Amino acid sequence: MTRRPRRFRLAGLSLAHRLMLNNLLVILAGAGTVLVIALLVAPAVFQYHLEVANITPDEEVLTHLARAFDQAILVALGMGILTAGIAAAAISWLAARRLSVHVEDAAQATGDLADGKLATRVVDPGIGPEFAQLASSLNELAARLESTEMTRRQLTADLAHQLRTPIASLLATIEAVGDGVLPLDEQALTTLFGQSHRLSRLVDDLEVVSRAGERQLLLSPEPVAVADLVEAAATANRERYRAAGVLLRTAISADAPAVRVDPDRIGEVLGNLLDNALRHSGRGGSVEVAVRLGGDRSVPAVAIEVSDDGSGFRPEDAERIFTRFDKAPGSPGSGLGLTIARAIIEAHHGSLTAHSAGPGTGAQFTITIPVSPTSAG
């Protein structure tokens, strides 16, 4: 059985009232302490000074002096404590109110974010690094939520566009077969299978992109020679290149080190890049996969370059081609290949960039993977 938390009577007070109440308790405790100590110590000090001054009044005079001294102490301390208490209470209220206002602003901002008002931002109140950090964190959270929401909307729109064609083809084929317009022959089955395979591939690609975006891409890294990765990818694609009339060659540096990567994932990236290069290369063209050292002395790395002499792209599109569902007109792919490739490389703490001098000049894709001491050794 879960115990319900106890609710105190002060739980309903606002932050300003709680801070004010705490400060008043501190003021009362301090004033009481001063008063008690003064009443205990002052008479003894007064008597001591009388003895030092060699003043020996009679009993009645001494009684009046002691009473006058006590009253003077009480009046002075009372006036001082009252004045100081009022001033301290006023200052405490102003400080508590100022703090509570900014806390309320932060609470209001988080409530607005929860309600979907993602353009909400808070201003640094300038009352300390803690509030500055709070404002910065809230603004960063709002910016990320806004960016995620924009990406979600764009992804939903793109996904609907990508799904529309294969689904329409499937429905049209099934409807034609059902109405007897189209016989259920090998051609119809091939169409159904092809569109189903396209949908399945799109779903798989979306899952990889989603995992990569959430940094949940599963990797099984191990030391692997870069030359082996490149040769394996070239061997797997060489027959397709031969059939398309495109030359595929490799140029691997003799001092290319090993890297600690997931060989299956890197093989997938190289396969995507080689497939992309083949689609954009005409018969008689050529594609080269080169391996060289990259980085610098402080951060050694290995670079894998996939270059073709195909259609190329405009230099200003070098980043756009890595966005989701971006593909050339008439391309049979899902438009996620390069997005997935970059996500996999970035999961290995590397980078994937593209370069082209312009349409018709070919393209070059460069993978840069850092060389860890363990893999280099």
Higher pLDDT, 238 or 13: 238
Right CATH for 222-376 from 2.30.40.10, 3.30.565.10, 1.10.240.10, 3.40.50.20: 3.30.565.10
Give 63-81 pLDDT, tens digit per residue: 777 778 777 877 887 787 7
Dihedral pair phi/psi, residue 260, rounded to 5°: -100, 100
Give the pLDDT of residue 116: 81
Q: Give the phi and the psi of residue 247 in degrees, each rounded to 5.
A: -80, 130
Higher pLDDT, 242 or 63: 242
Beta strands in 296-355 (DSSP E): 300-308, 351-355
pLDDT tens digits, residue range 82-100?
887 788 778 777 777 777 7
Report whether 355 contacts 366 (CB < 8 A).
yes
What pLDDT sits at residue 376? Answer: 47
- 7 pLDDT above the threshold of 80: no
Domain boundaries 130-213, CATH class: mainly alpha
The per-residue pLDDT for 1 is 44
What's the chain's average pLDDT? 79
- pLDDT of 218 above 90: no
Residue pair 73/42 in contact (Cβ under 8 Å)? The answer is yes
pLDDT band at 335 (very low <50, low <70, confident <90, very high): low
What is the H or E stretch that residue 220 is in? none
Higher-scoring residue by pLDDT: 354, 343: 354
For 292, the 3-state DSSP assignment is strand
Q: CA 62, CA 67: separation in Å to the nearest integer?
A: 9
pLDDT of residue 2: 47
Structure tokens at 132: 């500055």
Residue type, 282: G
Q: What is the pLDDT of residue 377?
A: 45
pTM, full prediction? 0.54
- Token pair listed for 197: 């395979």
What is the pLDDT at residue 298? 67
Q: Which two tokens stand for residue 115?
A: 């309600």
Percent above pLDDT 90 for the chain? 13
Helix (H) or strand (E) holding 124: none
pLDDT band with cut points at 50, 70 and 90 for residue 354: very high
pLDDT over 60 (residue 375): no
Q: What is the pLDDT of residue 10?
A: 54
Choice between 20 and 303, residue whose per-residue pLDDT is larger: 303
Question: How far apart are alpha carbons 286 and 329 in whole angstroms?
Answer: 22
Mean pLDDT for the stretch of residues 360-366: 92
| Each residue's pLDDT tens digit, 263-295 | 888 988 898 899 889 988 889 999 999 998 876
Q: Tell me which of 1-10, 85-94, 121-130, 295-304 is least confident.
A: 1-10
Q: 56-70, 229-243, 313-327 — which is least confidently predicted? A: 56-70
Residues of the chain with CATH 3.30.565.10: 222-376
* Domain span(s) for CATH 1.10.287.130 in the chain: 130-213
